[in-house]
Structure 1
Amino acid sequence: MSALIGTHLRVARPTDEIDEIVAFYRDGLGFDVLGEFRGHEGFDGVMLGHAGVAYHLEFTRKEGHRAGRAPTEDNLLVFYLPDRDLWRQAVDRMVACGYEPVPAFNPYWDRQGATFEDPDGYRVVLQNAEWP
């Protein structure tokens, strides 16, 4: 058995657009702000997710450091939403917040999903399927 079973996953990355990133993940995807910090050894940051789940996202900004955009269009976070109504609600929420789906780099994701690009060019797929 892996020592990592039962652990919590934090996906962390820098951003130049912290306020816009928070709006995308909080307002568009419905994540909660789990915590935030300012001026921690030169860094500002925010953690977004849902209480009680085994993952969250962290976005940081450091003054004087340029994070830049995603290196490719195939940098993805994929959320599997098997219930068709819940998937449709999630897609509709994104659109209502002003985020339009973009064509996926890999057409596989367009067959049962909708892909959205965050303010840094990283992509989120809302996939209407079960995780196998």
Structure 2
Amino acid sequence: MIDPTVRVRLARPSRDLAAAERFHTAGLGLDVLWRTTARVPGEHDLLMVGLPGASWHVELTHDPERPREPTPTADDLFVIYLGEPVGASLIDRLVAAGGTRVPSHNPYWERYGVTIADPDGYRLVLCSRTWG
């Protein structure tokens, strides 16, 4: 049964795990929770980022033998509800770590947040509102 304590994993392919790691750790401030440390034929390279103890994390994969091209759309969003205005220093860190500030497809996110595309083109929305 699904309840509020279930674990959530958002999984996406990545062209470059090192670039994805830089964006999520140096830019967003997440920790590396797990990574593959040795190339194993037939298996994906894997990077998991998140916050220790959180019930969610982001899994990024790369298969050098059969690479998958990321195919994000303007509505593929990873939204973080900050509950406060988005600080300029956070935006600057994300851009310095390989992100690109982009306009949001949805006017709601434009009004209440900042949208940053990660190195693979997936969109992170930093929302100034709260959730719940």
Using the size of structure 1 for normalisation, the TM-score is: 0.86
- Residue number in structure 2 paired with 1:15: 14
Q: Hey, what does 1:29 align to over in structure 2?
A: 28
| Aligned twin of 1:94 | 94
Check whether the contact 1:91–1:126 (CA below 8 A) recurs between aligned residues: no
Cα deviations by residue, 1:72-93 (Å, 9 ceiling, x for unpaired): 1211000000123xx3143343
Distance 1:44 1:97, change over 3 A: closer
Q: Which 10-residue stretch deviates more, 38-47 or 51-60?
A: 38-47
Q: Secondary structure, in 3 states, of the residue corresponding to 2:78? A: strand
- Determine helix, strand or coil for the equivalent of 2:101: coil
- Separation in structure 2 between the aligned mates of residue 21 and residue 97 of structure 1, nearest angstrom: 9
1:110 equivalent in structure 2: 110
Alignment match, 1:126: 126
> CA separation in 2, counterparts of 1:8 and 1:120?
24
Superposition misfits of 4+ residues, deviation over 6 angstroms: none
- In structure 2, do the counterparts of structure 1 residues 100 and 16 end up closer, same or farther at CA, with 3 Å as the change threshold? closer
Give the 3 Å change call, closer, same or farther, for CA 71–100 of structure 1 in structure 2. Answer: closer
**Paired AA for residue 23 in structure 2:** F
CA RMSD of aligned residues (A): 1.8
Cα deviations by residue, 1:19-39 (Å, 9 ceiling, x for unpaired): 111111111101100111133
1:63 is the counterpart of 2:59: no
Q: In structure 2, how many angstroms separate the alpha carbons of the residues matched to 1:125 and 1:81?
A: 10
Unaligned 5+ runs, structure 2:
none
The 8 Å contact of residues 114 and 125 in structure 1, kept in 2 or not, is answered as yes
Which residue number corresponds to residue 4 of structure 2? 5
Contact 1:28–1:93, Cα closer than 8 Å, also in 2: yes
Identity of aligned pairs, percent?
A: 37
Q: Is the 8 A contact 1:34 1:47 kept in 2?
A: yes
TM superposition score normalised by structure 2 = 0.86
Local SS of the residue matching 2:39: strand
Deviation of 1:46 (Å): 0.9
